[in-house]
Amino acid sequence: MGLEERYGDNRLSLYLMISLGAALFGLAIALFMVPYHVAPGGISGIAIIINHATGWPTGLLMALLEIPIFFLGLRYLGVNFSVKVIYATFCASLCTFLFSDVMHLRMELAPGDVLLAPIFGAVVMGAGLGLIIKAGAATSGSGTIARIVNHYSNYSISAAIGVINGSVILLAWVVFRESEAAMYGLVALYLSSKVIDIIVEGMSYARAAIIISPKSERIVDEILHVMDRGVTTWQGTGAFSGVQRDVIYCVVERKELSNLIRLVKHIDHRAFITISEVYEVLGEGFKRRI
């Protein structure tokens, strides 16, 4: 039984999300990447480079490149490609083919505004890939190659992906004979990865604070009754001093953080505080994000 059946996820909504993500991906390739020679790494970047050299349809090239990678994954890793992965791979190639090679969509930019191509292209592409990943799918491209390299070498998956993307961007520099092409590819690669993180994880909207102070009881009381926030405490022992103290853990909304710090410092200006970003909070006092 898959996750959808086990936890009641709506399959139709997931496939609609994948379809929307694939459409955004195809639009990014057609509007911004192909016309302005932006190769943001991965299989799509290779397809854009080959398209420039041969004139062959970008979407068709993506599909042709994905097919052997798919079978390599089955052969060397025994990867269990889900229906959603196959569907996402097919949709992304199809949308790219339709928008770029059938409809010939292009975004006309003034010569001085060409930098907008990798920026907006990366945002749209990252949003598309983020939706695909959020729906529990992926495309079978460079990630599968990286896993094969990791399986048969000492390279980590992240290092292998970095080498693959770097090689694609370097190849773009050679084929396009434009130094800007490599720089635009790097910009697009970085921005798209950030947008993917935002779509999948969400932007941080809360902060988690860990507070250590000999005046923990008063701090806990103030957080509970003044800020009306829940608190968890546990016993901690200083490794150097050997002193036992309560460790306070509290999650607040981002806008409340300054009040929390002010409250703690007012009670104990020497309190030890660490703050970390929180992307999702499920529980009393917080609304679930969509």
User: What is d(CA 129, CA 137) in angstroms, rounded to the nearest whole number?
Assistant: 9
Beta bridge partners of 208: 251, 276
For residue 173, pLDDT over 60 is answered with yes
Residue 140 pLDDT class (50, 70, 90 cuts): low
pLDDT tens figures, 208-230:
999 999 999 999 999 999 999 99
pLDDT tens figures, 81-113:
668 888 988 999 999 999 999 999 988 888 778
For each of the domains in the chain, give its residue range(s) and CATH number, in order of start: 3-201 (no CATH), 206-278 (3.30.70.120)
Among 119-123, 161-165, 183-187, name the one with the lowest average pLDDT.
161-165
Task: Kindly tell me the burial class for residue 105, based on how many C-beta atoms sit within 10 Å of its own C-beta (0-12, 13-18, 19 or more).
Answer: middle
Q: What is the DSSP string of 14-76?
A: HHHHHHHHHHHHHHHIIIIITTTT---SHHHHHHHHHHHHH---HHHHHHHHHHHHHHHHHHH
pLDDT score at 8: 53
User: What is d(CA 215, CA 213) in angstroms, rounded to the nearest whole number?
Assistant: 5
Residue 275 pLDDT class (50, 70, 90 cuts): very high
Beta bridge partners of 210: 249, 274
Q: Higher pLDDT residue, 11 or 217?
A: 217
